[in-house]
C-alpha cells in the first residue's frame, strides 16, 4: 500500500506549501497529491481552490497578488519538482 499526503502534511503549516511538502517527505510518504492552476501572469501556481481567501479568481491574479491574498508564499510547479537530493 502506498501512503500519499493530500496537499502535503499540513497539521502545523499551510497546505500546498514547501513547508507542507517538506513535512510530508520527512514523514516518509510515498507521494504527494497537489493542485496546479495558472495565475493571470501565466505561472503554474500550487493552490487548491479556484478562488483566493478574498474571493478573487486565481486565474485573474498575478502570482504576487495571490500570495498577498493567501498570506504566505505560493510555490510554483518548477519549485516542487526540483530534485532536492
The grid cell for 28 is 516518509
Backbone angles phi, psi at 7, to 5 degrees: 65, 25
Q: Taking the CB of residue 65, how many other CB atoms lie within 10 A of it?
A: 17
Backbone angles phi, psi at 26, to 5 degrees: -60, -35
* Beta strands per DSSP E along the chain: 4-6, 31-33, 36-38, 44-46
Q: Looking at 6, 10, 63, 72, which residue is catalytic?
A: 6
Q: Looking at 10, 48, 63, 72, which residue is catalytic?
A: 48
Q: Active-site residue 6, yes or no?
A: yes
Q: Active-site residue 48, yes or no?
A: yes
Residues with active-site annotation: 6, 48
Amino acid at each position: 500500500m502506498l501512503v500519499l499526503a493530500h496537499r502535503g502534511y499540513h497539521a502545523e503549516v499551510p497546505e500546498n506549501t514547501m513547508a507542507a511538502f517538506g513535512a510530508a517527505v520527512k514523514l516518509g510518504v510515498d507521494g504527494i497529491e497537489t493542485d496546479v492552476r495558472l495565475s493571470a501572469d501565466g505561472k503554474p501556481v500550487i493552490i487548491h481552490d479556484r478562488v483566493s481567501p478574498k474571493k478573487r479568481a486565481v486565474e485573474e491574479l498575478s502570482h504576487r497578488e495571490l500570495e498577498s491574498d493567501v498570506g504566505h508564499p505560493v510555490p510554483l510547479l518548477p519549485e516542487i519538482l526540483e530534485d532536492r537530493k
